[in-house]
Amino acid sequence: MSLPPEKASELKQIIHQQLIKMDVHGRIREVLAETIREELAPEHHQLSTEDLIKALRQRGIIDDVMKELKFVTDVNEKEMTSAPKPSTHFVDREPPVLKKTNIDPTRRYLYLQVLGGKAFLEHLQEPEPLPGQICSTFTLCLHFRNQRFRSKPVPCACEPDFHDGFLLEVHKDSLGDGSKMVDATAMLSICDPVHMVLIKTDTFGETTLVASYFLEWRSVLAAENGITNVAVELLGVGTESKVSVGVLNIRLEMYPQLNKTLSPEITNTQFALERQKTAEKERLFLVYAKQWWREYLQIRPTHNVRLVKIFAQDENGVNRPVCSYIRPLRAGRLLDTPRQAARFVSVLGYERAPVIGGGSGKQEQWCTLLAFLSRNKGDCEDHANLLCSLLLGFGLEAFVCVGTKAKGVPHAWVMTCGTDGTITFWESLTGHRYIHRPVNPDDPPLVEQPKPLYPYRTIGCIFNHQKFLGNCQPSDAVEVCVFDLHDESKWKSMSGEAIKSVCSPGTTSSVPPFPPLCASTIDAAITSNEIELQLRILVSEYRKDLGLSTVWDDHLSYLLSPALAAYELERTTSISAGNEEFQDAVRRGFPIHFVYRNARRAFATCLQSPFCEEIICCRGDQVRLAARVRVFTYPESACAVWIMLACKYRSVL
């Protein structure tokens, strides 16, 4: 590999500076004098280069120099001469020494190091994991200015061994910014925090949200040498949002180094002004919301029992306007259609916020998007907020609806308004779509009314990132609801300016910016094979306990593939296609759908179906079993897993 002249001279300069820094020349002179004086025999009048290198190596000086000079090598060496790469996340193999990566001199970077944790008292009695033993792990997820990072998992412990470095791009010098490198004063106006989410993964692969923290990084702008160390106390989530779960030791460093740092008084004054401005905006919005609510109740006193949700608590127990949980979100090339987006959201896991103690009360917890995506599961509100944001990104007029399902269970779903007035409901937990045709209660009894297919019973309000409307029709039943959003006798709207003051991106409000979606890291073919192999072993062991032998038919297994592909295509597009060939090849098979990749859990679910159990426990002459697993990957490493079991045997009737 040949370097261009400017790169070669730059490399020589770096090595020269490093040698001066370590005073290598002085040390070589000392070794040279010592070697001549002590180790050379009187008859030797000339010292060779080999003798000198041998002496330097014996004293460890060469090793010291090589340790200090670290070069980042790429698998494809041709890329070494290409343009500087964007910000990357790198994980260290030797925790005590955190490596550096190549940086673009036209960009400002924040190098954030996580140097261990302490006081995670819930894991005080956690035994030290044995080598190779599967144990619960902590993973730290970060988001900063449209960049996402993930630490390597570390075993859960009272003092978890976090040793990771993240290179966060603060500012890129572009044509719009001119040729001047941004200074500390300009960076002080960049108020985006570093959002940190701590996830715990247990031995079964189940994820739990441990903590969510917004790190104010700008204190480094007033630190000497552009380096500061911070002890971050993490608080719990939900009902434990006031309880400490542990402390992370964090080191912040600016690259390139700042020519001039700010005084702590300037940074503290800026933070105080921002807090004051945000608090004033939130106070004014609260005053407006109370006035709006009083007016809403004056329309009809029964409105006080309708589900009109103006504020919702996030994972940290902070009340935020519901409109701030929505923002148009574009998925780049990861999702191609709105229906594919609905399918993606539906395969993210569903889990209600945990409640301590008994009772049927629902714990409210609307997660920020990073917390939802990091643990890959959430409540119906989290799914609805994400789906609405994605549909807005696709240019649809989308709203989140808050209401109830059967038996008065609170629920949230998504609604889109077509250009022709068509109202479509999207169930974010399943991906199903329903066309809404309202029933007219004033029609004569003989007039046939449409029968609603959707599971929704009442609707209290709808909202997106710009609008909030309360349902003020005589009945809040969905089936008679008319979605003429411009009719003020049917929908009472909030001021768009009021919503914009606290919910629009770029303001100094407390609303966290949305992270971008990440591509899947799962290899669909490898994962499909792994689950299929595990499933075969489980079926064989189960049949062995029943005193039955098991013979697998690979050809029959392969014949099941088209059906599984057709099932997923139908879920994604709502179009049934390509299944005729399967029907010609196989008469009956049994498909099951999962959104997790645990073969044992899937097998237990299969046994709960009488038809599936009949296949697994099949007795007869020349019984041949078949199992096919097909994993379909989506962004954020979400998966749709289809399993089909079948059997064939010789008929003796």
CATH of the domain at 390: 3.10.620
- 455 lies in a domain? yes
**150 pLDDT above the threshold of 70:** yes
Phi (first) and psi of residue 466, to 5 degrees: -120, -20
φ/ψ region of 385 (left if φ > 0, alpha if ψ in -120 to 50, else beta) reads alpha
- 101 lies in a domain? no
Least trusted range by pLDDT, from 282-286, 527-531, 583-587, 607-611: 583-587
Residue 568: per-residue pLDDT: 92
DSSP 305: G
Is 107 strand, coil or helix? strand
**Same domain? 255 vs 299:** no
**81 pLDDT above the threshold of 80:** no
Q: Which of 262, 294, 320 is the last residue of a domain?
A: 262
Residue 93: per-residue pLDDT: 41
Stretch 44-68: mean pLDDT, rounded?
65
**Same domain? 499 vs 588:** no
Quick one: pLDDT band at residue 525, thresholds 50, 70, 90?
very high
- 229 lies in a domain? yes
Amino acid sitting at position 114: V
Residue 592: per-residue pLDDT: 85
**Same domain? 180 vs 215:** yes
**Same domain? 118 vs 193:** yes
Strands (E), 526-596: 590-594
- 84 lies in a domain? no
Check if the beta carbon of residue 638 is closer than 8 Å to that of residue 341: no
Which stretch of DSSP H or E encloses residue 140?
A: strand 137-144
Phi (first) and psi of residue 250, to 5 degrees: -125, 140
Could you tell me which residue, 107 or 378, shows the higher pLDDT?
378
Six-digit token string for 347: 């395969």
Length of the chain measured in residues: 653
Domains in the chain, number: 4
Quick one: pLDDT band at residue 71, thresholds 50, 70, 90?
very low
Instruction: Write the pLDDT tens digit of every residue in 564-610.
Output: 999 999 988 877 665 554 444 444 556 888 888 888 888 898 888 88
* CATH classification at residue 627: 3.40.33.10
Amino acid sitting at position 503: C
**Same domain? 253 vs 322:** no
Residue 73: per-residue pLDDT: 38
- Nearest C-alpha neighbor of 245 from the set 213, 214, 200, 210: 210
**Residue 303 CB contacts under 8 Å (≥ 6 apart), including other chains:** 296, 297, 470, 472
Amino acid sitting at position 191: C
Q: What is the CA radius of gyration of the chain?
A: 31
Rounded Cα distance between 253 and 251, Å, is 7
Residue 649: per-residue pLDDT: 84
- 302 lies in a domain? yes
Please state, as a whole number, how many other Cβ atoms lie within 10 Å of the Cβ of residue 529: 13
Residue 394: per-residue pLDDT: 96
Rounded Cα distance between 186 and 189, Å, is 6
Residue 261: per-residue pLDDT: 87
Rounded Cα distance between 75 and 63, Å, is 25
- Nearest C-alpha neighbor of 642 from the set 571, 543, 553: 571
Residue 358: per-residue pLDDT: 53
**31 pLDDT above the threshold of 70:** no
Residue 183: per-residue pLDDT: 83
**Same domain? 179 vs 240:** yes
**Same domain? 565 vs 493:** no
**Same domain? 243 vs 383:** no
**234 pLDDT above the threshold of 50:** yes
Instruction: Write the pLDDT tens digit of every residue in 419-436.
Output: 998 999 999 999 999 999
**Same domain? 130 vs 183:** yes
Q: Which of 262, 286, 319 is the last residue of a domain?
A: 262
Angle made by CA atoms 375, 377, 381, in degrees to the nearest 5: 125
Residue 455: per-residue pLDDT: 93
- 3 lies in a domain? no
Rounded Cα distance between 520 and 565, Å, is 19
Stretch 391-412: mean pLDDT, rounded?
94
Instruction: Write the pLDDT tens digit of every residue in 154-212.
Output: 999 999 999 999 999 987 555 444 445 778 888 898 888 999 999 999 988 889 999 99
| Cis status of the peptide bond prior to 256, with omega within 30 of 0 | yes
- 188 lies in a domain? yes
Q: Are strands 590-594 and 397-404 parallel, antiparallel or unpaired?
A: unpaired
Percent of the chain past pLDDT 70, that is, above it, reads 79
Quick one: pLDDT band at residue 241, thresholds 50, 70, 90?
confident
Residue 213: per-residue pLDDT: 95
CA quadruple 219, 225, 226, 231: dihedral sign: negative
Residue 67: per-residue pLDDT: 59
Provide the Cα torsion 235, 236, 238, 239; round to 10°.
Answer: -100
Q: Are strands 207-215 and 227-235 parallel, antiparallel or unpaired?
A: unpaired
Quick one: pLDDT band at residue 402, thresholds 50, 70, 90?
very high
Could you tell me which residue, 273 or 129, shows the higher pLDDT?
273
Check if the beta carbon of residue 400 is closer than 8 Å to that of residue 462: yes
**Same domain? 227 vs 253:** yes
Rounded Cα distance between 177 and 106, Å, is 11
Please give the mean pLDDT across all residues of the chain. Answer: 83
Residue 126: per-residue pLDDT: 72
Least trusted range by pLDDT, from 321-325, 392-396, 432-436, 606-610: 606-610
Residue 633: per-residue pLDDT: 94
Quick one: pLDDT band at residue 84, thresholds 50, 70, 90?
very low
Stretch 45-57: mean pLDDT, rounded?
67
**Same domain? 181 vs 282:** no
Stretch 30-38: mean pLDDT, rounded?
64
Find the domain containing 31 and state its range: 8-65
Instruction: Write the pLDDT tens digit of every residue in 471-495.
Output: 999 999 999 999 999 999 999 999 9
Residue 130: per-residue pLDDT: 73
Q: Which of 470, 503, 536 is the last residue of a domain?
A: 503
Is 377 strand, coil or helix? strand
**Same domain? 120 vs 237:** yes
Six-digit token string for 540: 């064989």
- 77 lies in a domain? no
Rounded Cα distance between 638 and 377, Å, is 10
* CATH classification at residue 165: 2.60.40.150
The secondary structure of 552-575 as a DSSP string is: B-HHHHHHTHHHHHHHHHHHHHS-
C-alpha distance from residue 3 to each of 11, 13, 16, 80 (Å)? 10, 14, 17, 9
**Residue 45 CB contacts under 8 Å (≥ 6 apart), including other chains:** none
The secondary structure of 499-545 as a DSSP string is: HHHHHSTTSSSSPPPPPPP------HHHHHHHHHHHHHHHHHHHHHH
**645 pLDDT above the threshold of 60:** yes
Stretch 621-648: mean pLDDT, rounded?
92
Most confident option among 61-65, 248-252, 503-507 = 248-252
Quick one: pLDDT band at residue 24, thresholds 50, 70, 90?
low
Is 272 strand, coil or helix? helix
Please state, as a whole number, how many other Cβ atoms lie within 10 Å of the Cβ of residue 267: 20
